[in-house]
């Protein structure tokens, strides 16, 4: 469990996007599909709210804030996303589907 103010988002980022990510899928789409299959709607809704809260609270330094909050183990560029914001937007979109 995390001490993060963004607990549901933390559980996604740290819990699924790590060196053993392939346990959950080959790409972001499969990983998030797996997450959705094992999480409830309330937690997914909270994660979407936390994405917006994180983006809003860290507008001026979102990249540094992301590293500070979630560590530097996740390189979203390696997953095909140019920015932290685009990665978070994609997670939110996939949570909504």
Domains contained in the chain, number: 1
Would you say residue 49 lies in a domain? yes
Would you say residue 1 lies in a domain? no
Would you say residue 36 lies in a domain? yes
Would you say residue 86 lies in a domain? yes
Please report, rounded to a whole number, the percentage of residues in the chain having pLDDT higher than 90: 77
Would you say residue 56 lies in a domain? yes
- What local confidence, expressed as pLDDT, does residue 29 receive? 95
In whole angstroms, how far apart are CA 78 and each of 10, 41, 69? Answer: 19, 28, 19
Would you say residue 2 lies in a domain? no
Instruction: Please state at what angle helix 41-57 crosses helix 84-96, rounded to 10 degrees.
Output: 160
The tens digit of pLDDT for each residue in 3-34 reads: 889 999 999 999 998 888 889 999 999 999 99
Report whether pLDDT(1) > 60. no
State the residue range of the domain holding 37. 7-96
Would you say residue 84 lies in a domain? yes
């Amino acid at each position: 469990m995390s001490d993060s103010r963004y607990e549901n988002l933390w559980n996604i980022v740290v819990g699924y996007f790590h060196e053993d990510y392939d346990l959950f899928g080959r790409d972001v789409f499969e990983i998030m599909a797996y997450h959705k299959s094992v999480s409830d709607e309330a937690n997914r809704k909270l994660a979407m709210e936390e994405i917006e809260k994180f983006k809003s609270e860290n507008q001026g330094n979102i990249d540094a804030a992301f590293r500070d909050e979630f560590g530097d183990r996740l390189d979203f560029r390696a997953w095909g996303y140019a920015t932290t914001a685009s990665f978070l937007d994609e997670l939110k979109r996939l949570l909504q589907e």
